[in-house]
Amino acid sequence: MWYMTEERELMRNIAREFTEQEVKPFIAEMENNHTYPRHLLKRMGELGFQGLIFPEEIGGIGPDWVTMGIVSEEIAKESNLVAILLMLNTAICAETIYQLGTPEQIEKWVKPAITGDVNLALCLTEPNGIFNFSENQTRAVLDGDSWVVNGGKIFTTNAGNADCYIVECLTSEPNPETMMGVSYILIPADTPGFEVGHIENKLGWHGSSTGQTYFKNCRVPKEYLLGPQDTVFPIIYTNLEDEFIMFGACCLGSAVGVYEKTLKYTRERIQLGKSMFDTHQSIRQKLAQMYSDIEAFRGMMYMTLAMKDKGIDTFKQAFICKLQGATLMERVASECIVLHGGNGTVKENGIERYFRDAKMCFLAGGSNDTLLDGLSSLI
């Protein structure tokens, strides 16, 4: 591949070995018992994955978005969720603190996130939705030298497993026209008044903890304001760029993973003395179509990651990465279930999981329908 170098090849091999030896054996535990893979996040810190998009001066080994894509793709071949959790900790949360934070905030939260010692979460969504902030209920009021936060969020991923929560709060009268009124406040998990509510039993991403978070008179020092006061909403929107791109890389990896398993299966399943792959032209064509769709999307993905490394604006491409990635993963996973016949529907065989996880990629981080709406304003 044009984007491969010796160093990237090395990192891919490390990610492949980690996935094979540490992620794969833990999938059944995550699927069946919904166990959160905290130890895998720590390992991803030790292996350098959490530092790929951060510069050396804060403990990273980047920034190198292409390598971040390669590593995420490798992990997502087996576990879409573990790749997503890597993205949540790095490209979403630590990156937000790195971009907006003070040197003290970076020292306290980003550096240990890079080593895998700290887990982060982003709390945006409330019962009214994710983007219509003017109807949000979570408010922060400055009282002397402290912010006092009251309210609650839903669908917080890493709820109960994060050490610090980046909470979107109304800090003045919200104005949807000027996008004023919104700030981020950092709430450490041990803040009195912080509570985790119900954890959702979801269709996919078993092993992640997505649920309710509550803030009841949570008092934090005024220095815990992250970024500018009242004017953070436009920044939230542009920060989604990194998230959408990395969603694409995770979806690409999972599409490749389920496609490769299915190719192998159709070659090994013998009926009337011949493999299904050799017997049925329609099966070969379906697999060729998947391969073609995957490779076309790979082009889009790595072009976008390389553009990011060169500092070229990728805002529009980011929407396309998430839209196309989730669509590709869902389509490929759906076809692969069918090509496995009855076996495709059996949980233990690990094929139907890709389809369930694809639906999560469709909705989390902004529904694909909403993204299309956003993209329509950019074309």
Q: Is 315 exposed, middle or buried (0-12, 13-18, 19+ CB in 10 A)?
A: middle
Minimum distance from residue 272 beta carbon to ligand FAD (Å): 44
- Candidates 82, 87, 122, 167: give the one binding ligand FAD (CB under 6 A): 122
Nearer to ligand FAD, 51 or 366 (CB): 366
- Candidates 156, 262, 266, 314: give the one binding ligand FAD (CB under 6 A): 156
Compute how many residues bind ligand FAD; rule: CB under 6 A: 21
Task: Determine, following the binding rule CB under 6 A, whether residue 209 of this chain makes contact with ligand FAD.
Answer: no
Minimum distance from residue 353 beta carbon to ligand FAD (Å): 14
**CA angle, residues 219, 222, 228, in degrees to nearest 5:** 125
Which of these segments, 3-11, 60-68, 101-109, 123-131, binds ligand FAD (CB under 6 A)?
Answer: 123-131
Q: And the tokens for 127?
A: 């019962």
- Candidates 19, 80, 89, 210: give the one binding ligand FAD (CB under 6 A): 210
Task: Determine, following the binding rule CB under 6 A, whether residue 157 of this chain makes contact with ligand FAD.
Answer: yes
Nearer to ligand FAD, 293 or 352 (CB): 352
Task: Determine, following the binding rule CB under 6 A, whether residue 366 of this chain makes contact with ligand FAD.
Answer: yes
- Is beta strand 120-123 parallel, antiparallel or unpaired with respect to 164-175? parallel
Which of these, 58, 57, 42, 38, lies nearest to 109 by C-alpha position?
58
Minimum distance from residue 316 beta carbon to ligand FAD (Å): 17
| Cα-based distances in Å from 189 to 109, 212, 236 | 12, 13, 22
For residues 326 and 318, the answer to whether their CB atoms sit within 8 Å is no
For residues 74 and 253, the answer to whether their CB atoms sit within 8 Å is yes
Task: Determine, following the binding rule CB under 6 A, whether residue 370 of this chain makes contact with ligand FAD.
Answer: yes
Task: Determine, following the binding rule CB under 6 A, whether residue 365 of this chain makes contact with ligand FAD.
Answer: yes
Task: Determine, following the binding rule CB under 6 A, whether residue 155 of this chain makes contact with ligand FAD.
Answer: yes
Task: Determine, following the binding rule CB under 6 A, whether residue 130 of this chain makes contact with ligand FAD.
Answer: yes
Helix (H) or strand (E) holding 320: helix 315-339
Nearer to ligand FAD, 62 or 160 (CB): 160
C-alpha–C-alpha distance, residues 361 and 365, integer Å: 8
Task: Determine, following the binding rule CB under 6 A, whether residue 251 of this chain makes contact with ligand FAD.
Answer: no
Task: Determine, following the binding rule CB under 6 A, whether residue 361 of this chain makes contact with ligand FAD.
Answer: no
Task: Determine, following the binding rule CB under 6 A, whether residue 375 of this chain makes contact with ligand FAD.
Answer: no
Which of these, 334, 144, 276, 111, lies nearest to 221 by C-alpha position?
144
Minimum distance from residue 213 beta carbon to ligand FAD (Å): 9
Task: Determine, following the binding rule CB under 6 A, whether residue 336 of this chain makes contact with ligand FAD.
Answer: no
Q: How many residues does the chain have?
A: 379
Task: Determine, following the binding rule CB under 6 A, whether residue 93 of this chain makes contact with ligand FAD.
Answer: no
- Candidates 19, 125, 136, 138: give the one binding ligand FAD (CB under 6 A): 125
Task: Determine, following the binding rule CB under 6 A, whether residue 160 of this chain makes contact with ligand FAD.
Answer: no
- Is beta strand 194-199 parallel, antiparallel or unpaired with respect to 164-175? unpaired
Q: Would you list the DSSP string of 119-167?
A: -EEEE--BTTBSS-GGG---EEEEETTEEEEEEEEEEEETTTT-SEEEE
Q: Is 143 exposed, middle or buried (0-12, 13-18, 19+ CB in 10 A)?
A: exposed
Q: And the tokens for 379?
A: 């074309």
Task: Determine, following the binding rule CB under 6 A, whether residue 207 of this chain makes contact with ligand FAD.
Answer: no
Binding site for ligand FAD (CB under 6 A): 122-125, 129-130, 155-157, 202, 205, 210, 360, 363-367, 369-370, 373
